[in-house]
Amino acid sequence: MLKRIHVEDLKPGMHLHALCGSWMSHPFWRNSFVLDDPNDIRRILESGIKQAWIDSSKGLDLEFGQTKEATEKEIDTELTPAIESRVIAPERTAFSVEMPHAAKICAKSREAVAFMFQGARIGKAIQAKIALPLVEEICDSVLRNPGALISLARLKRADDYTYMHSVAVCALMIALARQLKMGMREMCDAGLAGLLHDVGKIAIPLEVLNKPGNLTDSEFTLVKSHPEEGCKILLEGSDISEVALDVCLHHHERIDGKGYPHRLPRGEISLFAKMVAVCDVYDAMTSARPYKAGWNPAEAIRRMAQWSKSHFEDRVFQAFVKSVGIYPVGTLLQLQSGRMAVVLEQSDHSLLTPQVKVFYSTRYQLRLAPEIVDLASASCGEKILALEDPEKWGFSDLEQLWRGAGPRPW
């Protein structure tokens, strides 16, 4: 029996079914488990959450409390993801305002994906409903300001690449779905599919995934098995949508029919699979791996444009470019004045006029006090002269310039 109680009444041995309140306030990414560690109860008390649902059929009961039968309608609203009913998008916020929220979401999302994938590795079924609150939070952040979470998710450590890659592709899929004028239901479907698209990588040995040199034929065959392995894993789970299954199985198909695993022709590849093909490649190219440094985001866009006629659906790729920008967040630019700047945010007016942070003078070869410049403003008097390679200039603090001070939270 489900029963709602005050968190002060939680005891070891109770089965926690759900915590009341915002998912981002929860001290755990998941809800349903037996409270066998007093420290878990302490974390709940410190979180500020006031009430929780327990399942007395799976753990200790409490004599008092509000039962599900007494509040059937209320619990259905509280414990069921409300994606279907959400029709109003959150208000857009500035990049600097969204960054702290995006950082928290990235940190918690990494924990959630790691838990799901590690559980799947030992045979635990993936439950899609558990991941939906996470997808909702990512969706809300992307709708408030897509550049914040997408750029943060691009920052990865070698040991968490697969997890943060899943978070990044989830965010990119949502941003692309929005650009394609999809509704909230489809955006969340796209996000969940992006989150789960690479689950098959857990079946591939790390020494193969992270190998610095060229793969042997047998190793490459093994890597190419991950879409089908992932589909098998998802089929053993619960509430997995057809979109997620399709995206997992077909995210490496190409419109020229030379992809894998089924070498599907353009007309047989779904829109969602075409979307994830773009998002997956972009994040892989711009992320640091154990065997290579990540590419400059703008350079990745330029290279992908060269491959677009064979790899990507043109309409989807063009929408993707509009969603992240020709000069994505973190891109190093030289302006006509000779000043160097890093991109902070895209403009609503033109892909060629992002908001940037100026910090260096090439004329005098010295650092300048950082200054935010909106290239879309008629009064700024600046234009982009060239895309620059950060390695050539040796700037070691570009990330801090666009992200802000402080350590990464993951």
Give pLDDT tens digits for 79-124: 444 454 455 567 889 999 999 999 999 999 999 999 999 999 999 9
Q: Report the pLDDT value the prediction gives residue 302, as an integer from 0 to 100.
A: 93
pLDDT along the chain (410 residues), means of 10: 87 87 70 84 87 88 65 49 54 92 92 92 89 92 95 85 94 97 95 97 92 91 97 94 97 97 97 98 89 86 92 96 95 97 92 96 96 93 93 90 76
The pLDDT assigned to 82 comes to: 47
pTM for the whole thing? 0.85
5: CB partners within 8 A, 6+ apart: 51, 52, 53, 54, 62, 64, 65, 66
Backbone angles phi, psi at 28, to 5 degrees: -125, 150
Residue 29 confidence (pLDDT): 63
Burial 300-311, CB ≥16 within 10 A → b, else e: bbeebeeebeeb
pLDDT at residue number 266: 96
Sequence-distant (≥ 6) Cβ neighbours of residue 90 within 8 angstroms: 140, 143, 144
Give the pLDDT confidence score for residue 85 in this predicted structure: 47
Question: Where do we find the tokens 């592709």?
Answer: 169
Contact 184, 83 (CB under 8 A): yes
- Interatomic CA distance for residues 410 and 408, integer angstroms: 6
